[in-house]
A and B are shown apart, each in its own frame.
Chain A
């Protein structure tokens, strides 16, 4: 690991100020100053030399400002420093937003969930082995313009949706597809003040793989607002993976349904493990709208979700697996007693 300066921030403005200190055009995810929360992404990647920050700003001192969960009739507010385990085990989230609790519960391990923050979680980086391992020279995400070793390499775990010819890396996280499905809003404080954007606008597409988010360097995620809706209680997360636990998803589905007399009044669908960025399938949602929820309509929605899939040599199975995962999630959500 390369040397870095460690600083600790005691309030939001000190954190933002400390992180905004360096100038330059590097994207936020490669800026020389990085925040550190749980450290489970950034220290891993610093040890691998994939991330090379010169300064780490420890934001754990902001716990009292950013560490709380608030549920009201307007929705759910999750602070950026809430730990994964804290949200996963919150009884109110389990009851009213099960898809949120389950997406976190099925992620990583008990130890990692104790450490990892929700803000850091959505900014976790791809598990693409060519990105993580710097002995591969070609990776546009790590080294812009160097090419992509995965395009014709081993790409079994790579994405089939939202990919480009520069990068086909999968977004690996579980929580983000649930946030995308529920139409969450991210609140951000930066050197130029505060702003709030739809979660779907946080992550960028693959045109510039090295630039992963729309955050500017020094911008701090302060939390997530998840609006209440008639569909949040009938929601769940299905995760299909190579082993039963402690593994990233190959295909996952975050689903929330509002059913009236067996008909889909409103559907919210997020997909994980199959896409370049946290994915909301508006196509699948539209396909279900007004239909009775059954195997046929679920199958049609899954077809719509993967209509634009662009598989490579080793990951074509993800198209079928992704469809089946979504069908199972929809039918299980339909059967939920709420």
Chain B
């Protein structure tokens, strides 16, 4: 998917062309060149180029192809806001936005990400003012240990933007992908209702 507002523009493709010939980084585009030289067995351990835009900032890294977006953010970009709960798509603690859509970063390979990523660290305004959803979670005591909270908040922002916060029942249904071991659910629902008014107002 090419987006005209992609800050990486065409240079991203150029990079792959160049990197394909460099020994250090494995080529990732299925090309005829690959088929023409079957004797050159590609090395699965060779790092691949990961080219992310996270919270408006471009982050290029050479990583093992197995690296998930969650591990790329936490271990390589130093953004530890997104949490690892289950690492299997079952809890929602790792929720971030990719191309504006809420996504589980634990079941996403970093090398596959083509669209801008927003994490909890990118939610507040540049002057430090909290996003209405962050403020609402504080106002309503919508957490105890806080481990699930970054995922809850990222999911909640998307829930409102998708138009799925019309009633408490609808919020519960569309937030069901975010588990809270402390069971702060009732306050989470109230917080989302408050933030919705502000986000839409």
Asked if A227 is an interface residue, CB under 8 A from chain B, the answer is: no
Report B89-120 CB contacts with A as 1/0, cut-off 8 Å.
Answer: 10010010000011110011101101000000
Interface size on A, residues (CB 8 A): 39
Q: With A7-B27, A44-B88, A60-B114 given, can you name 20 additional A-B contacts, CB distance below 8 Å?
A: A3-B45, A3-B64, A4-B65, A4-B66, A5-B44, A6-B109, A6-B112, A36-B112, A39-B109, A47-B87, A56-B109, A57-B30, A58-B28, A58-B112, A109-B176, A110-B162, A110-B177, A111-B104, A112-B177, A244-B176
Pairs across A and B, CB under 8 Å, 13 listed: A3-B64, A6-B109, A8-B30, A9-B30, A17-B30, A44-B89, A60-B112, A110-B176, A111-B95, A111-B155, A114-B102, A115-B107, A246-B177
| Chain B residue, CB-CB nearest to A48 | B88
Residues in chain B near residue A56, CB distance under 8 A: 65, 109
In the complex, are the beta carbons of B159 and A110 less than 8 A apart? yes
Q: Using a CB-CB cutoff of 8 Å, which residues 192-237 of chain A contact chain B?
A: none
Residues in chain B near residue A257, CB distance under 8 A: none
Asked if A70 is an interface residue, CB under 8 A from chain B, the answer is: no
| Chain B residue, CB-CB nearest to A245 | B176
Asked if B158 is an interface residue, CB under 8 A from chain A, the answer is: yes
Asked if B174 is an interface residue, CB under 8 A from chain A, the answer is: yes
In the complex, are the beta carbons of A43 and B95 less than 8 A apart? no
Asked if B189 is an interface residue, CB under 8 A from chain A, the answer is: no
| Chain B residue, CB-CB nearest to A14 | B30
- Cβ-defined partner of B104 (8 Å) among A6, A60, A115, A246: A115
Asked if B201 is an interface residue, CB under 8 A from chain A, the answer is: no
Q: Which 9 A-B pairs have the closest CB atoms?
A: A109-B177, A245-B176, A3-B44, A246-B176, A18-B30, A6-B65, A7-B30, A114-B101, A9-B30
| Chain B residue, CB-CB nearest to A6 | B65
Asked if A146 is an interface residue, CB under 8 A from chain B, the answer is: no
In the complex, are the beta carbons of A5 and B42 less than 8 A apart? yes
In the complex, are the beta carbons of B30 and A114 less than 8 A apart? no
Q: Using a CB-CB cutoff of 8 Å, which residues 6-34 of chain B contact chain A?
A: 26-31, 34
Asked if A100 is an interface residue, CB under 8 A from chain B, the answer is: no
- A262-B175 Cα distance, complex, nearest whole Å: 39
In the complex, are the beta carbons of A43 and B155 less than 8 A apart? no
In the complex, are the beta carbons of B103 and A111 less than 8 A apart? yes
In the complex, are the beta carbons of B114 and A15 less than 8 A apart? no
- A127-B52 Cα distance, complex, nearest whole Å: 33
Interface residues of B (CB under 8 A from A): 1, 26-31, 34-35, 42, 44-45, 48, 64-66, 68, 87-89, 92, 95, 101-104, 107-109, 111-112, 114, 155, 158-159, 162, 164, 172-178
Interface residues of A (CB under 8 A from B): 1, 3-10, 14-15, 17-18, 21, 36, 38-40, 43-44, 47-48, 54, 56-58, 60-61, 63, 108-112, 114-115, 244-246
CB distance from B40 to the nearest CB of A (A): 12
Residues in chain A near residue B88, CB distance under 8 A: 44, 47-48
Residues in chain B near residue A61, CB distance under 8 A: 1
CB distance from A247 to the nearest CB of B (A): 9
Residues in chain A near residue B177, CB distance under 8 A: 108-112, 246
| Chain B residue, CB-CB nearest to A7 | B30
- A158-B112 Cα distance, complex, nearest whole Å: 34
| Chain B residue, CB-CB nearest to A21 | B35
- A244-B174 Cα distance, complex, nearest whole Å: 12
- A109-B101 Cα distance, complex, nearest whole Å: 13
In the complex, are the beta carbons of B89 and A112 less than 8 A apart? yes
In the complex, are the beta carbons of A6 and B87 less than 8 A apart? no
- A229-B30 Cα distance, complex, nearest whole Å: 41
- A23-B130 Cα distance, complex, nearest whole Å: 55
In the complex, are the beta carbons of B176 and A40 less than 8 A apart? no
| Chain B residue, CB-CB nearest to A109 | B177
| Chain A residue, CB-CB nearest to B35 | A17
CB distance from A50 to the nearest CB of B (A): 11
- A36-B27 Cα distance, complex, nearest whole Å: 17
Residues in chain B near residue A14, CB distance under 8 A: 30-31
Known: A5-B65, A17-B35. A43 touches B107 (CB 8 A): yes
Known: A109-B176, A110-B158, A115-B108. A1 touches B34 (CB 8 A): no
- A17-B65 Cα distance, complex, nearest whole Å: 21
